[in-house]
Amino acid sequence: MRLFANAQVTLTKGVYDLSGIVPGDYTCVALCEGMMAFYDDGCQVTTQQQTLDLIMSPFLVDGNIRVVITWGPLIKDLDSYMLVP
């Protein structure tokens, strides 16, 4: 059985407080005006201080594309190719 909880946490100057959230697995959704929503169904809240990289993108007009690449502390080689008309 999985217990679901609904809580809203305010992000202020890049910092959020999870002290009122019961530790467990959650689905995290971040909303910001003018931006596409961030969604992660694998958020884990623990009793330790933690961080979460929120990757958000502004709404794009038709025909535009935005690519965001992130990686952890061990940077590996990356080759990227894009074909355009």
Q: pTM of the predicted model, to two decimals?
A: 0.58
pLDDT in tens, 31-75: 888 888 888 888 888 877 777 777 788 998 888 888 877 777 777
Sign of CA dihedral 28, 24, 14, 17: positive
Contacts of 71 by beta carbon, 8 Å cutoff, 6+ apart: 78
User: Smallest Cα–Cα separation from 24: which of 48, 45, 3?
Assistant: 45
pLDDT in tens, 7-23: 777 777 777 777 777 88
Reported confidence tier of residue 2, pLDDT bands at 50, 70, 90:
very low
